[in-house]
Amino acid sequence: MKNLFLSLVATLFLFSCGNQTEKVETVEKVGSDPVTVRLVVHNQTGADMKAKATYCVDKANCEYIIKAGESLTMESNTHAASGTVFMFWPAAPEKADGSGPCDPATGTAQQTYGYWNGSAHITCDWNCNSSNPTAQHHFDGQHWEFNLDIKNNGNVLTEEVTVTVGKCDI
């Protein structure tokens, strides 16, 4: 009888607790996280240039075209240790005989950022990422070079890079 009484009390307790309702509030995000990484790219190559951020402000994989003679401010508000990568691809100059672009048809430049301990850091710069073809990273079969003129080198919020292209050597 004692077990029956305890079972009855436990059942009543469980059913009465299950009927409780709780109001759930939905909170809408008002703004965005602050920018943690910023890079200004000045395109002085003489041709339009593609660019990409693996993570920009509040979204992944932002692709851009930087018109010849113009600039683009690339920004990210990532707070992940994996951060973001800013990349751009300068177009090769024309061959001297006008028969098309020099080899390779585009170069590649990238800088990698991470975020930890409350701030952003450059984890691999233009040189570490083997941006090429440049004077520092030039491989067989590459017949031109681009140059990166860097202002405020290493500053994750004020760095600027001006991209120029040399002549084709074939």
pLDDT digits (tens, 9 = 90+) for 142-165: 999 999 999 999 999 999 999 999
Question: Alpha carbon of 97 to those of 100, 128, 145: distances in Å?
Answer: 8, 34, 18
Q: Under 8 Å CB-to-CB from 84, ≥6 apart: which residues?
A: 37, 53, 54, 55, 56, 76, 78, 112, 113
**Tokens of residue 31, six digits:** 């703004």
Q: Under 8 Å CB-to-CB from 85, ≥6 apart: which residues?
A: 52, 53, 54, 110, 111, 112, 113
Range of the domain at 113: 34-165
**Tokens of residue 140, six digits:** 């067989």
Domain-embedded: residue 19: no
| Domain count along the chain | 1
Question: Alpha carbon of 30 to those of 33, 55, 123, 155: distances in Å?
Answer: 10, 20, 31, 29
Domain-embedded: residue 76: yes
More confident residue, 8 or 158: 158
Confidence (pLDDT) at 5: 53
CB 151 within 8 A of CB 163: no
Domain-embedded: residue 9: no
Q: Measure the CA–CA gap between 56 and 33, rounded to whole angstroms.
A: 11
Confidence (pLDDT) at 31: 79
Domain-embedded: residue 130: yes
Considering the entire predicted model, what is its pTM?
0.81
CATH code: domain of residue 46: 2.60.270
Q: What is the pLDDT of residues 69-88, one digit of tens each?
A: 999 999 999 999 999 999 99
Confidence (pLDDT) at 2: 55
Domain-embedded: residue 68: yes
Supply angle C-alpha 85, 63, 57, rounded to 5.
Answer: 65
Confidence (pLDDT) at 170: 86
Confidence (pLDDT) at 52: 98
> Which residues, listed in sequence order, are joined to residue 110 by a DSSP beta bridge?
87
Domain-embedded: residue 5: no
Instruction: Give me the mean pLDDT over the 118-122 stretch.
Output: 96
Domain-embedded: residue 102: yes
Domain-embedded: residue 111: yes
Q: In this prediction, what percent of the chain has a pLDDT beyond 70?
A: 82
